[in-house]
Amino acid sequence: MRQVFISLFIAVAVAMIGVGIIAPILPLYAKTFAASGTSIGIVFAAFSLSRALLGPLLGRVSDRIGRKRMLIFGLASYAVVSILYVTANSLWQLGFFRLLQGAASVMITPIAQAYVGDITPCGKEGRYMNLFYSAMFLGMAIGPLLGGELSKLWSYQMAFYAMGALSLVALVLITATLPADDSRSKHHRKPATDIVPLREVMKNDAVKAICVYVATRGFWRQGFNTFYPLFAAATTGLGEGSAGIILSVYMLGGGLLQIPFGFLADRYPQFPQIIIGSTLAPLLLLLVPFVHCVWGVAFIMFAIGGLSALSRASILVIRTKLGRTHGMGTITGLQGGAFAVGQMIGPVMCGVIVDLVGLRAVFPFGSVIGLIGTGFVISRFRRWKNACSA
């Protein structure tokens, strides 16, 4: 079991480094095609559109057929799409390749999460799932730093080549070390008759709370990722390297604190931790447009990442427990799909705000959406807790 955990953690971290590499340069790359704010938002949303449509479906399929072959196909597709980015010669091609990348990604992180959930011991959901998330976030933290430096030293295209190479490394690792699906089937795959109907799963108040939590977080996070590099360049003259630092420290804060917060979620009630983290994180977003020093914004984003880790750690405990009864792939697929919906709508709506009001308005807009989501999440979790104790 330990080898499987280590293999998944390393492979996902490597894959996420590849994903993060293009984060600071994709908005600037899109700008080379004379894209407006709304157009840039649509390019970013294309990634999430395919994730939103395919996430619940493929997660449910993995509950029936197993996880490994889906992970292999996803990583191979990711490597191919990385190279396609370099060939883009129009904005619509860039958006189409972004759509394909989203389809590939939905076969990687949600399926790997389901695999980890399958083999996580009862009572240790917080530490195991959050260790996985820590590997994922640390990979995403390293990625933007690397991407910013690669594009500064060479070109935007070099970042895409690096993403493809890292995807291949993860593919080789998964292929060589993960047990075959057939060897897991007796213990981790449900017969079709035992899988809870999707309509019943979606009626669960805790599932609704989790989906709204990740959707609203995806909204303001992706809005920030899309437009902060442009805001920084327009207001402070910061380039790709500085934007890469800002995008990385959010992931770094989440990655470093995810593990201790996972232990905290196993030992203490999860509900207060969800309230604190999900309320304070979007509130801090209001400070960003008033701070023009790169390290000042980095400090704010580190704090936002840490507070998000606090609430997410407890969300993951609840999600893993629900997965044992409702289908691990089904729950992670729904979560991934909801997150993708937020990521899809966020850049488009923020792009509209940019075109109507200006770049500065993105940050309070994202904060308000985050706080509205927090209110809904708290009310649904309360209903779920009351129903369970009745």
Six token digits for residue 225:
């990722």
Report yes or no: 78 and 17 within 8 Å, Cβ to Cβ: no
- Residue 36 burial (CB count, 10 A): 14
Asked if pLDDT for residue 183 goes beyond 50, the answer is no
Strongest mean pLDDT among 1-15, 33-47, 54-68, 329-343: 329-343
Six token digits for residue 128:
């195991």
Q: Is 121 helix (H, G, I), strand (E, B) or coil?
A: coil
Question: What is the average per-residue pLDDT within 363-372?
Answer: 95
Res 186: pLDDT: 45
When pLDDT is cut at 50, 70 and 90, the band that residue 390 belongs to is low
Phi, psi of 130 (to 5 degrees): -80, -25
Which of 53-57, 168-172, 196-200, 302-306 has the least mean pLDDT? 196-200
Report yes or no: 130 and 259 within 8 Å, Cβ to Cβ: yes
Asked if pLDDT for residue 288 goes beyond 80, the answer is yes
Which of 103-107, 120-124, 157-161 has the least mean pLDDT? 157-161
Res 134: pLDDT: 80
DSSP 8-state assignment for residue 288: G
Res 215: pLDDT: 94
Strongest mean pLDDT among 71-75, 81-85, 152-156: 71-75
Res 18: pLDDT: 67
Across all residues in the chain, what is the average pLDDT?
82
Res 254: pLDDT: 81
Q: Which amino acid is at 242?
A: S
DSSP 8-state assignment for residue 122: T
What are 297-341's pLDDT values in tens digits?
889 999 999 999 999 999 999 999 998 888 888 898 888 889 888
- What domains are defined for the chain? 2-180+195-389 (1.20.1250.20)
Report yes or no: 206 and 384 within 8 Å, Cβ to Cβ: yes
What are 222-231's pLDDT values in tens digits?
888 888 888 8
Question: What is the average per-residue pLDDT within 188-200?
Answer: 61
Find the farthest-apart pair of alpha carbons in the chain and give their distance in angstroms, rounded: 62
Q: What is the percentage of the chain residues whose pLDDT exceeds 90?
A: 22
Strongest mean pLDDT among 18-22, 58-62, 74-78, 290-294: 74-78
Which of 10-19, 59-68, 69-78 has the least mean pLDDT? 10-19
Six token digits for residue 137:
């976030």
Question: What is the average per-residue pLDDT within 265-271?
Answer: 91
